């Protein structure tokens, strides 16, 4: 089983007398920088000249410099700009890294697929919160934790793991628990999950169900509620208590129908396709395609985005969410619940 680390396993002193440069002040960057600072770590945020994020970082009371200046000053450089721009930002800061310094990531893509090749004398580590940045910040302020992953790709100093744990503690991850993994495992499971299940799989399942009902003559409103809106309620139950709590909460008819028909839809053919998607993650084919797509200015990405926006279910959903008061009230409720 995977090892899980908590606050007691982390020693703050590995970040004593060190400066952490947080490159980027977006989703993860703003959370890491503020949590580190509130934990007493010396932080400098690295943002390019004229960056639209500069105002926010300064307003939050943080010191801001260019990525190069920040990296030059720091012993730990946390790379929290978007994955697609990391290789270019790394090229600018590479010469600022001294032996024993640390490159710290929140996702393994660029290291695992060789888009960033750090020199052998620096530590390369990962603390990856399994959550969007705004929750990493909110949980920290509420004195709660955010589960995360820890990985060491390169340990030049002999203290890479201890320092990463101290970083994980300072951003609040060891309060909840940090699971030890590798750059390879984190990258491959993250990509597979978002492609086959979380983002890609779920949206296709929803659209296919919606289209099947509408094509058979049922109303788009019914199809929307059935295939998209109710998804949240079902997933909430699984999140709370696993598949079992969901099956216990639905009717026996729904349970029997789901247990017998689910595997008719997601059949051996779908499983073979999942294996194929995993293989393209493992052999680097997906990574290569995404890198080339970016180099070409994202032509097919734009096209796919547009087609998705124009799907009928989006228009129906906009209209229904406008007509019914539930969505806003529900958001407000969960906001106030979380604040308690």
Contacts to Mg ion by CB under 5 A: 190, 194
Which among ligand NDP, Mg ion, none contacts residue 27 (Cβ within 5 to 8 A by kind)? ligand NDP
What is the rounded end-to-end Cα distance, in angstroms, of the chain? Answer: 34
C-alpha 100/C-alpha 278 separation (Å) is 35
C-alpha 235/C-alpha 257 separation (Å) is 18
- Per CB under 6 A, 106 contacts ligand NDP: yes
Please, which residue, 118 or 133, has the CB nearer to ligand NDP?
133
Which among ligand NDP, Mg ion, none contacts residue 111 (Cβ within 5 to 8 A by kind)? none
Q: Is 112 a catalytic residue?
A: no
Q: Which residues from 41-60 bind ligand NDP, rule CB under 6 A?
A: 47-48, 51-53
Contact between 97 and 71 (Cβ < 8 Å): yes
Q: In what order do the strands lie in the sheet with 63-65?
A: 4-5, 178-180, 148-154, 123-129, 102-105, 76-79, 19-23, 42-46, 63-65
- Per CB under 6 A, 294 contacts ligand NDP: no
- Among 107, 112, 134, 269, the active-site one is 107
226 annotated ligand-binding residue: yes
| Radius of gyration of the CA atoms of the chain, in A | 22
- Per CB under 6 A, 24 contacts ligand NDP: yes
248 annotated ligand-binding residue: no
Residue 215: which H helix or E strand, with range?
helix 200-215
73 annotated ligand-binding residue: no
26 annotated ligand-binding residue: yes
Helix %, strand %, coil % for the chain, to 5?
A: 65, 10, 25
- Contact residues toward ligand NDP (CB under 6 A) are 24-29, 47-48, 51-53, 67, 80-83, 85, 89, 106-107, 128-129, 132-133
Which residues are annotated as part of the binding site for Mg(2+)? 190, 194, 226, 230
């Amino acid at each position: 089983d995977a090892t899980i680390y908590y606050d007691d396993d982390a020693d703050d002193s590995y970040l004593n007398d060190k400066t952490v440069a947080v490159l980027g002040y977006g989703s993860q960057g703003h959370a890491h920088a503020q949590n580190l600072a509130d934990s007493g770590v010396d932080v400098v945020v690295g943002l390019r000249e004229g960056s639209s994020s500069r105002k926010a970082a300064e307003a939050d009371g943080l010191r801001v410099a260019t990525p190069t200046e920040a990296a030059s000053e720091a012993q730990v450089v946390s790379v929290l700009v978007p994955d697609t721009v990391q290789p270019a930002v790394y090229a600018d800061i590479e010469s600022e890294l001294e032996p024993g310094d640390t490159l710290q990531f929140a996702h393994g893509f660029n290291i695992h697929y060789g888009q960033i090749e750090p020199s052998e004398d620096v530590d390369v580590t990962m603390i990856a919160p399994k959550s969007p940045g705004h929750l990493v910040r909110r949980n920290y302020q509420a004195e709660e934790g955010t589960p995360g992953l820890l990985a060491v790709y390169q340990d030049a100093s002999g203290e890479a793991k201890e320092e990463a744990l101290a970083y994980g503690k300072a951003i609040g991850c060891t309060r909840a628990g940090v699971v030890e993994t590798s750059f390879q495992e984190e990258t491959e499971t993250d990509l597979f999950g978002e492609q086959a299940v979380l983002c890609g799989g779920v949206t296709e399942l929803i659209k296919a169900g919606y289209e099947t009902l509408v094509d058979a003559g049922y109303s788009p409103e019914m199809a929307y509620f059935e295939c998209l809106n109710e998804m949240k309620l079902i997933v909430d139950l699984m999140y709370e208590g696993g598949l079992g709590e969901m099956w216990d909460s639905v009717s026996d008819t729904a349970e029997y129908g789901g247990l017998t028909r689910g595997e008719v839809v997601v059949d051996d053919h779908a499983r073979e396709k999942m294996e194929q998607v995993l293989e393209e993650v493992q052999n680097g084919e997906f990574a290569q395609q995404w890198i080339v797509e970016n180099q070409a200015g994202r032509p097919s990405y734009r096209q796919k985005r547009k087609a998705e926006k124009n799907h009928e279910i989006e228009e129906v959903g906009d209209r229904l969410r406008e007509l019914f008061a539930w969505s806003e009230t529900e958001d407000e409720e969960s906001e106030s619940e979380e604040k308690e």
